[in-house]
């Protein structure tokens, strides 16, 4: 701690703004330079007043110019940028959910930098429909009569309810009134759509008679919602799509399902618990099914609605559809992803989300060995590199109970901790690096789950660790 009189001396020795600005490249806009310079100097003043800076050396012109340049660099780089996901959560909503294969991106690139037939019928030589690019393949893959794509699944659900049930009742089981992260809640979306939620059954058990007793002349839809991100276990009972369809048929009421994360391939051969695929839901009798493009499908953000032509046509004509319409880049990406699904084995190999989800434990083990080799090569002094079995998660609010056995690499910092560099400090510096690395902390150790780290990222990550460790050591010195 510095004495108060020293603090005044230190405050006076802060370099003058003009002298700093002279040394910043001319190419940077003047006002930005001034703003950032002021911020840095204010920060230094605060640190002096708190007694955290005790020598004039920390305030030398070169050092302060360096701080301003660093701050400018942080300000000028893109805010949204790539990072390494070492959490083992595959469809990580906060980290961008799904990754596109690079060749899919080429398709998006071509459509982005050229004019395209977005809404032009090349055969007829007149206006066409943007939906025509993905509707046929969606029908081919799912067996649906018709399809429509919108901005995301939340929009798909809202639009469907608004079109088919505004001012009328929609019957949903109390066990399916789910909240997805980010404020999407079935009861709230229902209210916004103008539909009236008619909840039936109990949280753990709903019977067919519960639906049947709630049907009246104002019932518009019977709706099933996938319990995406939670599970009810124990004394439970729910009504199958088949039974609901039969009930709907008798009363002439359509049955719809919000599948959330729609799977097009069955992952049970890869050790997954069974989840209905989009095809299965339609086959069981759903008149409409909606799902996300960027959850387990592994594509771009989109909401997909498939089902009966009569219902899909009504949704297409809703003026609200225009407000949630899909853009051309997403369409290009979605079409390319869907075409990979024509060969499901190909999809498991080429779509990163599916590849990571279906990656066997043995493969994660090999990757862990490779990562450990890279890390050891960095010669990280005082850091022990070891292995640990861990559990990866599907994420994205899908399959919450699904445990994917995986192999991680751990960094034990116990020999450095007395010097102030512990797992929390390193984790913070890893996030601050370029590219940032998002890791987990387990038992005071840094854990990298190798399932979500791509091959080419293995050497990059070890480089990032080295730099982060240096920064953490400097910060604690």
For ligand PLP, the binding residues (CB under 6 A) are 152-154, 157, 178, 180, 184, 225-226, 228, 258, 260-261, 292, 303, 397
In the bound state, the residue with its beta carbon closest to ligand PLP is 260
Q: What is the DSSP string of 108-159?
A: HHHHHHS---TTEETTTTEE--GGGGTHHHHHHHH--SEEEEES-HHHHHHH
Task: Name the DSSP class of 391.
Answer: E
Residue number, 162 or 457, with CB nearest to ligand PLP: 162
Residue number, 201 or 408, with CB nearest to ligand PLP: 201
Residue number, 178 or 447, with CB nearest to ligand PLP: 178
The rounded distance, in Å, linking the Cα atoms of 407 and 404 is: 10
Q: How far is the CB of 472 from ligand PLP (least distance, A)?
A: 36
Q: How far is the CB of 69 from ligand PLP (least distance, A)?
A: 40
Q: How far is the CB of 293 from ligand PLP (least distance, A)?
A: 7
Q: How far is the CB of 349 from ligand PLP (least distance, A)?
A: 25
Q: How far is the CB of 176 from ligand PLP (least distance, A)?
A: 9
The rounded distance, in Å, linking the Cα atoms of 340 and 343 is: 6
Closest Cα to residue 244, out of 215, 270, 277, 216? Answer: 215
Closest Cα to residue 467, out of 441, 437, 445, 447? Answer: 437
Q: How far is the CB of 279 from ligand PLP (least distance, A)?
A: 18
Residue 354 structure tokens: 């599916």
**3-class DSSP state of 403:** coil
With residue 305 as reference, give the H or E element that holds it. Answer: strand 303-307
Residue number, 303 or 333, with CB nearest to ligand PLP: 303
User: In sequence order, what E strands does 13-99 have?
Assistant: 84-85, 89-91
195 burial class (0-12, 13-18, 19+ CB within 10 angstroms)?
Answer: buried
- Give 265's contacts (C-beta < 8 A, 6+ positions apart): 277, 341, 344, 347, 348, 354
Residue number, 258 or 449, with CB nearest to ligand PLP: 258
Residue number, 15 or 303, with CB nearest to ligand PLP: 303
Q: How far is the CB of 153 from ligand PLP (least distance, A)?
A: 3
Q: How far is the CB of 319 from ligand PLP (least distance, A)?
A: 20
The rounded distance, in Å, linking the Cα atoms of 69 and 302 is: 40
Residue number, 41 or 89, with CB nearest to ligand PLP: 89
Residue number, 111 or 158, with CB nearest to ligand PLP: 158
Q: What is the CA radius of gyration of the chain?
A: 28
Q: How far is the CB of 244 from ligand PLP (least distance, A)?
A: 16
Residue number, 248 or 397, with CB nearest to ligand PLP: 397
460 burial class (0-12, 13-18, 19+ CB within 10 angstroms)?
Answer: middle
**3-class DSSP state of 60:** coil
């Amino acid at each position: 701690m510095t004495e108060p009189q020293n603090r005044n001396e230190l405050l006076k020795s802060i370099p003058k703004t003009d002298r700093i600005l002279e040394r910043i490249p001319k190419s940077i806009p003047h006002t930005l330079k001034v703003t950032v310079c002021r911020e840095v100097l204010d920060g230094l003043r605060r640190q002096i007043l708190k007694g955290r800076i005790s020598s004039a050396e920390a305030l030398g012109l070169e050092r302060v110019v360096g701080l301003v340049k660093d701050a400018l660099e942080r300000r000028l780089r893109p805010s949204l940028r790539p990072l390494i996901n070492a959490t083992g959560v595959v469809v990580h909503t906060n980290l961008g959910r799904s990754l596109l294969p690079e060749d899919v991106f080429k398709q998006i690139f071509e459509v982005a930098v050229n004019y395209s037939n977005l809404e032009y019928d090349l055969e007829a030589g007149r206006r066409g429909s943007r939906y025509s690019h993905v509707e046929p393949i969606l029908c081919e893959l799912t067996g649906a009569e018709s399809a429509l794509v919108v901005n995301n699944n939340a929009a798909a659900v809202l639009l469907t309810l608004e079109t088919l049930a505004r001012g009328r009742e929609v019957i949903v089981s109390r066990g399916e009134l789910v909240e997805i992260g980010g404020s999407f809640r079935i009861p709230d979306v229902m209210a916004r759509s103008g539909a009236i939620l008619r909840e039936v059954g109990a949280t753990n058990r709903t019977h067919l008679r519960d639906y049947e007793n709630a049907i009246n002349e104002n019932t518009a839809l019977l709706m099933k919602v996938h319990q995406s991100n939670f599970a009810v276990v124990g004394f439970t009972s729910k009504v199958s799509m088949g039974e609901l369809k039969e009930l709907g048929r008798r009363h002439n009421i359509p049955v719809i399902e919000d599948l959330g994360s729609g799977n097009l391939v069955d992952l049970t051969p890869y050790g997954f618990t069974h989840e209905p695929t989009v095809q299965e839901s339609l086959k069981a009798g759903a008149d409409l099914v909606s799902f996300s493009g960027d959850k387990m499908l592994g594509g771009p953000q989109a909401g997909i609605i498939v089902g009966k032509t009569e219902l899909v046509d009504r949704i297409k004509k809703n003026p609200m559809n225009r407000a949630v319409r899909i853009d051309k880049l997403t369409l290009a990406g979605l079409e390319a992803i869907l075409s990979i699904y024509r060969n499901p084995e190909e999809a498991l190999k080429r779509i990163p989300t599916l590849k990571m989800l279906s990656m066997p434990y043995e493969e994660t083990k090999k990757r862990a060995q490779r990562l450990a080799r890279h890390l050891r090569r960095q010669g990280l002094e005082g850091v022990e590199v070891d292995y640990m079995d861990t559990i990866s998660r599907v994420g994205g609010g899908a399959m919450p109970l699904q445990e994917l056995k995986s192999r991680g690499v751990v960094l034990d910092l116990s020999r450095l901790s007395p010097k102030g560099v512990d797992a929390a400090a390193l984790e913070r510096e890893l996030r601050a690096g370029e590219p940032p690395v998002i890791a987990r902390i387990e038992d005071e150790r840094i854990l990298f789950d190798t399932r979500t780290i791509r091959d080419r990222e293995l050497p990059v990550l070890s480089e990032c660790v080295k730099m982060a460790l240096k920064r953490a050591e400097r910060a604690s010195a």
